[in-house]
Copies of this chain bind each other. A is one copy, B any other.
């Protein structure tokens, strides 16, 4: 294995010709396809499972996880939106529906009355913790059991390289271990 290039050249693309205007090769496109296919299939599986067992789409799970890791389990909506790559509109709708279930509450910030903060309720946290069990089992089967430790690290490295500069990836969903002890993941191991 490893027919990869020799010297660790950072930005591919401007090797010899202009980056823009050059079509992708079959091989390049294939790399992209494998990436998209695997994430589609994996997330698809998880999404179906979450809908079956908890009646939520995968995207909501992301919202819940992020909220659970914030101080006070609270986030400004605009923050939450950019971190999770939700539009403000989409987020607003989602919060409404999660509010109906008693999982979150929305409160207007008295200081800046344009802004709104969402808080994950105790009920919401309980639901999340419950959901997380099944999610983790599936994740182990579908993801970790299929990859060697080296592959996981390689994947991690490549994906981290992809993030900077993307949309709201300043403090993205992908940020490392959260500042706050995650209620849904005790120290582990």
Which residues of A pack against B, CB within 8 Å? 1-5, 8-14, 19-45, 62, 85, 136-137, 139-169, 172-174, 176-177, 182, 185-189
**B158 with A37: CB separation less than 8 A:** no
Copies, count: 2
A29 to B39, CA, bound (A): 15
Which residues of chain B are near A150, meaning CB under 8 Å? 4-5, 8
**B142 with A34: CB separation less than 8 A:** no
A95 to B11, CA, bound (A): 39
A183 smallest CB distance to B (angstroms):
13
**A24 with B166: CB separation less than 8 A:** no
Which residue of chain B is the closest to A187 with respect to CB atoms? B26
A35 to B41, CA, bound (A): 13
Which of B34, B39, B157 interacts with A151 by CB under 8 Å? Answer: B157
Given A40-B85, A41-B169, A185-B29, A157:B159 Cβ within 8 A: no
Given A38-B159, A136-B23, A169-B41, A9:B148 Cβ within 8 A: yes
**A37 with B1: CB separation less than 8 A:** no
**A158 with B151: CB separation less than 8 A:** yes
**B10 with A185: CB separation less than 8 A:** no
A75 smallest CB distance to B (angstroms):
16
Which residue of chain B is the closest to A162 with respect to CB atoms? B38
**A188 with B23: CB separation less than 8 A:** yes
Which residues of chain B are near A187, meaning CB under 8 Å? 26
**B45 with A36: CB separation less than 8 A:** no
Known: A2-B153, A10-B148, A32-B143. 20 other contacts (CB 8 A): A4-B149, A4-B153, A5-B149, A11-B145, A11-B146, A12-B144, A20-B141, A24-B136, A24-B188, A27-B177, A29-B139, A35-B156, A37-B169, A39-B39, A41-B169, A44-B167, A142-B166, A146-B162, A154-B157, A155-B158
